[in-house]
Amino acid sequence: MRLQLRVISVVLALLVGGVLAVPLAFAPQALAQSREIKIGGTMAITGPFSVEWGPKGRQFMEEWANMMNERGGVFVREANAKLPIKLIVYDDGSSPDRAVELYERLATTDKVDFFTGPASSPITIKASTIAERYGIPMVTAEANSPVIFARGFKWLVGADRPAPQWAEDYYTLLKALMDRGTLPRVKNVAVIQENTPHTMDVGWGGTNRANIAGMTVVATETVPPGATDFSAIIGKLKGLNPDVIYVATWAGTAAAFVKQAFELGLRPKELHVPHSTITQKYYEMVGKDRDGKPIGEGITGITHETHFKKGDKDAYFALRKKVGLSGFEAGWTSLRFIALEALTKAVEQAGSLDRAKVMAALRTLRYETLHGELMFSFGVEVAGKKVDGVGNKLVFPAQWQNGKIEVIWPPDLATSSYRPRS
């Protein structure tokens, strides 16, 4: 009898121990999964694209993570707690292939929960394939080529409005200026476009949206990536004498074109270089003419920045100040802020770190950003392509005035009025 009771006691002890051991065995993994939110990405800290991004790109994102953690983190319903953000950002050297390697590392070695996209469309086109391969939600910031979003990817959304739409605001501005008599009537435009994703799409808008201002396109010239010699094109444009030249290139390429244009006597009434007002460096890059006058003065472009009146503006402005940014320098920061913000909003809405749930939340996300309500559109047509996951963030026409970037459109957000080129 005693032996039987002893056997029963042992069995019961084993059963109870086994029951307790199961949750204990899984507890460390569960705690590890819910201890933090790991977000990973790359940035063009060095290389050709660092002209527009550079070290400030990573610094801005790291300070954003610090800000969020100082607020206590992001509430995750399934964890019933606010979880801190761990941000991992690598330098991709402006190389798409290097970015692919690093996103692979983020997925397999760092085991991040979510991706923040790299800088630029050329890099994102390749890097986003890793998000699709591993089923990791990626929210892109400075990447808006329709080519990226026309591949049927399920794990990708982008905060920026598609690149072909950038021209719409510019031509709307020109029409308003001509209607008011601020700008003499301009009748035709020549478009220069650099053969990379994004810049070709910006050029598409420059060519196909000129009708908004009632203008005729007299030339569309495509140059290779990183082109430095524009003498043949400039000679052709001098013969055509367009009222407006629309330069859809990266900042470095645009600086080379504009300097040569001035040296060879090409002086259009209006010179629009979208990327010229995204980086403060551009003004110095183009230098001065033979008379000592800054070549950049009066050039128009676009920016993602203005004196915002909506969204988490106070925190955003404090963040820029902490990073050491003044005026409208680094004209991409509001876009990066919104992309990161959207990801955390989706986590809150999903109440989970489950990637599928967060991706589903991104698809239906609506909230007020610095630029107004953000939403991602699916199954829409942009520049002849059916795209999924594109954003609707605004861009603002800007102009170089007295060595500073000023927003000149729309009127309610403008920091200055348009000044005709002298």
| 144 found inside a domain | yes
Are residues 282 and 209 part of one domain? yes
Residue 106 confidence (pLDDT): 98
Instruction: Name the phi and psi angles at 146, rounded to 5.
Output: -55, -25
| Percent of the residues in the chain that have a pLDDT greater than 90, as a whole number | 90
Are residues 278 and 170 part of one domain? yes
39, 86 contact by CB (below 8 A): yes
At residue 290 the predicted structure's pLDDT band, cuts being 50, 70 and 90, is confident
Helix (H) or strand (E) holding 129: helix 121-134
Rounded Cα gap, residues 267 and 263, in angstroms: 10
Range 278-290 average pLDDT? 93
Instruction: Name the DSSP letter for residue 48.
Output: G
Burial 332-356 (b: 16+ CB within 10 A, else e): bbbbbbbbbbbbbbbbbbbbbbebe
Are residues 402 and 263 part of one domain? yes
Are residues 193 and 271 part of one domain? yes
pLDDT in tens, 105-153: 999 999 999 999 999 999 999 999 999 999 999 999 999 999 999 999 9
Residue 422 confidence (pLDDT): 75
Range 313-341 average pLDDT? 96
Q: Closest Cα to residue 194, out of 226, 147, 235?
A: 226
Rounded Cα gap, residues 281 and 324, in angstroms: 15
Are residues 113 and 183 part of one domain? no
- Amino acid letter for position 13: A
Are residues 298 and 316 part of one domain? no
pLDDT in tens, 143-161: 999 999 999 999 999 999 9
Q: Check which CATH number belongs to the domain holding 328 and give it.
A: 3.40.50.2300
Are residues 352 and 292 part of one domain? no
Are residues 355 and 274 part of one domain? no
Are residues 148 and 115 part of one domain? yes
What range does the domain containing 185 cover? 165-303+398-407
pLDDT in tens, 68-105: 999 999 999 999 999 999 999 999 999 999 999 999 99
- Amino acid letter for position 227: A
pLDDT in tens, 219-253: 999 999 999 999 999 999 999 999 999 999 999 99
Indicate the pTM of the whole model: 0.90
| 68 found inside a domain | yes
Q: For the chain, what is the domain count? A: 2
Are residues 262 and 403 part of one domain? yes
